[in-house]
Amino acid sequence: MNLPPLAAIRVFEAAARHGSFTNAAEELGMTQAAVSYQIKLLEERIGAPLFLRRPRQVTLTEVGARLSPAISEAFDLMRAAIAATRESADGILTITTIPTFAANWLVPRLGSFQLAHPSLAVRLQASRDIVDFARQDADVGIRSGAGRWPGVVAHKIFGADFAPMLSPELAASIGGVKTPADLLKLPIVDPGDPWWKVWFRTAGVSGPGLRGDPRSRFGDQHLEGKAVIAGQGVGILTPVFYEAELRSGQLIQPFDIVGNDNHFYWLVYPEARRNLPKVKAFRDWLLGQLEQKDSGRSPKAPPAATA
Partner DNA sequence: CCTCTCGCATAAGGTGTCCTTATGCATGCT
Partner DNA sequence: AGCATGCATAAGGACACCTTATGCGAGAGG
Q: Which residues bind a second copy (CB under 8 A)?
A: 1, 3-4, 6-7, 9-10, 46-49, 52-54, 61-63, 66-67, 70-71, 73-75, 77-86, 88-90, 92, 94, 133-137, 273, 276
Distance in Å, CB of 125 to a second copy, minimum: 11
Residue 124 interacts with DNA (CB under 7 A)? no
Query: Which x/- pattern over 55-94 shows residues binding DNA (rule: CB under 7 A)?
Result: xxxx------------------------------------
User: Rounded CA gap, 200 and 210, in Å?
Assistant: 9
Select from DNA, a second copy, none the partner in contact with residue 33, using the beta carbon and a kind-dependent cut-off of 5 to 8 Å: DNA
Distance in Å, CB of 25 to DNA, minimum: 7
Distance in Å, CB of 238 to a second copy, minimum: 32
Query: Which x/- pattern over 23-62 shows residues binding DNA (rule: CB under 7 A)?
Result: --x---xxxxxx-xxxxxx---------x-x-xxxx----
Beta pairing class for 92-97 and 140-145: parallel
Residue 5 interacts with DNA (CB under 7 A)? yes
Select from DNA, a second copy, none the partner in contact with residue 37, using the beta carbon and a kind-dependent cut-off of 5 to 8 Å: DNA
User: Rounded CA gap, 293 and 208, in Å?
Assistant: 34
DSSP lists the bridge partners of residue 237 as: 163
Select from a second copy, DNA, none the partner in contact with residue 244, using the beta carbon and a kind-dependent cut-off of 5 to 8 Å: none
Contact 153, 279 (CB under 8 A): no
User: Rounded CA gap, 132 and 137, in Å?
Assistant: 9
Q: Residues binding DNA: what is the number (CB under 7 A)?
A: 26
User: Rounded CA gap, 166 and 240, in Å?
Assistant: 15
Distance in Å, CB of 48 to a second copy, minimum: 4
Of 50 and 237, the one with the shorter C-beta distance to DNA is 50
Select from DNA, a second copy, none the partner in contact with residue 67, using the beta carbon and a kind-dependent cut-off of 5 to 8 Å: a second copy
- The radius of gyration computed from the CA coordinates of the chain, to the nearest angstrom, equals 31
User: Rounded CA gap, 221 and 238, in Å?
Assistant: 8
Of 12 and 158, the one with the shorter C-beta distance to DNA is 12
Residues 6+ positions from 166 with CB-CB distance below 8 Å: 177, 183, 186, 228, 231, 233, 234, 235, 251, 252, 254
Select from a second copy, DNA, none the partner in contact with residue 71, using the beta carbon and a kind-dependent cut-off of 5 to 8 Å: a second copy
Distance in Å, CB of 254 to DNA, minimum: 44
Of 127 and 289, the one with the shorter C-beta distance to a second copy is 127
Distance in Å, CB of 49 to a second copy, minimum: 7
To which H or E segment does residue 34 belong?
helix 32-46
Contact 120, 114 (CB under 8 A): yes
Residues of the shown chain interacting with DNA in the complex, contacts defined by CB under 7 A = 5, 7-8, 11, 20-22, 25, 29-34, 36-41, 51, 53, 55-58
